[in-house]
Amino acid sequence: MPETEPCGDGLLYELSPVLSGLDSVLGQTDSPRWIEFVGEDQADKFATVMDDLRRRHSTTGDGKRIISGYSYVGVEPTIAWANACRDRLYPVMKQSIESFDRRWASVRPSLGAVPYHYVSLGPGDGQKDAVILQDLRRDNAQLCYVPVDTSTEMLRLAVRDLIRQLKFSGKRILSVPLDFSAQDNATELRRLLTGLFGDTPVLFSLLGNTIANFDDDVELLGMLATELLRPQDRFLLEVATTPRLDADLATKAAAEYELSRSFGEFVISALRRYTDLHVDTENLLHQGTVEGDRALLVKIIYQNQTGEDILITLPDRANVRFGRDDTIRLLITRKYGQEGLGALLADSGVRMVRSTHLDFAAAHNRSQFGMDLMILANQPDRVVVPAGPTLADDVWSG
């Protein structure tokens, strides 16, 4: 008779001999331990970064780049990110974390008493996930937590403290090192979740204005909704907002990041990881512009201001010319106007269930900006069709 264990809604799945042994080990150790599911080809991720660092010369941050997700890979960027989250000179992030429990309480009633499982797309340092998990497990004693991130180090940062803080069982955590912005990966994630939880509803989240770090935010949100969201599922989205779209506020939006040295250390940590450049925050440029009628767009770029060409070496030992005044884009982000946020949701094919707004100016902060926290659902005519069996199903079915 194969060993079994209840999963989420009471459905039984057969454990493989390996997982059965892990179940015993997880129950005996006092140190934080959990299961990590690795299914993405790391070589492909590495090749993407190398290709992006070979892009054309640009003085405006539109050539060479390190895209969102890859900036967090490695121990140094993870530590730098954690430090930035605690920096009082980066008040928007700090205020976002400190106010999250109140804002979550405002949108939480729209979920009802449904026994959700929780999938966090980009858990950050795990502080916001801790608020959500503590609440959700009141309605679901079998609650499982699936954090998903490109960076294994970020996953470990989030999960380790969460286990200690909430005394959350490592048996109910499956961390997934995966670039969820890739459609094939999102499809595989949906297959994995269906194998784990069946028809039990899932609450997905994308917090901390992460959606704004992607070049095509509309395409990303639409893809996630198409690949992941079933009628019974919900999506928690957090975005930064602006009261107006003008050049003055665009400059102020960029200045928010310029004030924090720890945030600057975070963004250049990726350059230290992927190049042999001798980098420092003095060569960071913070550019704020108005992106049409939808958002304020902030670019943080590193520029060669030495007055001469530099030859940089990448981890694959290739040499790349970093010309005079050439740039490497390290981050983009946005603050959405009201109309732009409405267009983002409409064009992505999702509908608003409930939302709440935090005005940072009202929170005794000099910032003129704010944040919206929203519960979203798929449009009624959009249906996720489960794909066929995969390696994930084989692993979890024994």
Q: What is the pLDDT of residues 168-204, one digit of tens each?
A: 877 888 999 999 999 999 999 999 999 999 999 999 9
The per-residue pLDDT for 200 is 94
Query: What pLDDT score was predicted for residue 6?
Result: 38
CA 60 distance to own-chain centroid:
26
* CA pair distance 168, 304, nearest whole angstrom: 47
Residue 24 has pLDDT above 80, yes or no: no
pLDDT in tens, 151-174: 888 888 888 888 888 888 778 889
Tokens of 164: 């200690």
Which pLDDT score is estimated for 46? 78
Of 97, 155, 164, nearest to 131 by C-alpha is 97
User: DSSP character for 6?
Assistant: E
Q: What is the pLDDT of residues 205-247, one digit of tens each?
A: 999 999 999 999 999 999 999 999 999 999 999 999 999 999 9
The predicted structure's pLDDT at residue 20: 53
Confidence (pLDDT) at 30:
57
d(CA 303, CA 36): 38
Query: Would you state the pLDDT for residue 259?
Result: 81
Structure confidence at residue 199 (pLDDT): 94
The model's pLDDT over 31-51, given as tens digits with 9 standing for 90+, comes to: 566 576 776 666 677 788 899
pLDDT at position 391 is 40
Closest Cα partner for 292 from 339, 240, 243?
Answer: 339
Nearest in space to 153 (alpha carbons), one of 84, 207, 74 = 74
Summary mean pLDDT of the chain: 84
- 246: its two tokens: 């003008």
Distances (CA, A) of 314 to 49, 234, 267: 10, 41, 17
- Weakest-pLDDT range from 126-130, 262-266, 319-323, 372-376: 262-266
The kind and range of the H/E element at 373 are: strand 370-378
Go through the domains of the chain in sequence order and give each one's CATH number.
31-389 (3.40.50.150)
How far is 80 from 69, CA to CA, in rounded Å?
14
Instruction: Say how far residue 246 (Cα) sits from the centre of its chain.
Output: 28
First to last CA, the chain: 12
User: pLDDT confidence of 95, banded at 50, 70, 90?
Assistant: confident
Band of pLDDT at residue 91, cut at 50, 70 and 90: low
Residue 157: predicted pLDDT: 84
pLDDT at position 188 is 93
Residue range 284-304: mean pLDDT, rounded: 96
Higher pLDDT, 231 or 260: 231
User: Residue 240 has which token pair?
Assistant: 């930064």
Quick check: 170 and 142 in contact, CB under 8 A?
Answer: no
> What is the reported pLDDT for 364?
47
* pLDDT value of position 19: 53
Examine the pLDDT at 22 and tell me if it is beyond 60: no
Better-predicted residue by pLDDT, 153 or 56 = 56
**d(C-alpha 163, C-alpha 66), whole Å:** 31
Please state the pTM of the whole predicted model.
Answer: 0.86
C-beta of residue 296 within 8 angstroms of C-beta of residue 367: no
pLDDT at 234: 97
How many other C-beta atoms are found inside a 10 Å radius of the C-beta of residue 278? 10
Instruction: Take residue 86 and report the two structure tokens written for it.
Output: 């605690």
Cβ distance 396 to 195 under 8 Å?
yes
- pLDDT tier, 316 (very low <50, low <70, confident <90, very high otherwise): confident
Tell me, what's the pLDDT at 12?
A: 34
pLDDT value at residue 153: 86
Q: For residue range 139-151, what is the model confidence (pLDDT) as tens digits?
A: 898 899 999 998 8
Beta pairing partners, 210: none
Could you tell me which residue, 3 or 165, shows the higher pLDDT? 165
398/390 Cα distance (integer angstroms): 13
Q: Please give the structure tokens belonging to residue 397.
A: 């079915």
Q: Which residues of 285-301 are buried (b: 16+ CB within 10 A; e: fewer)?
A: bbbbbbbeebbbbbbbb
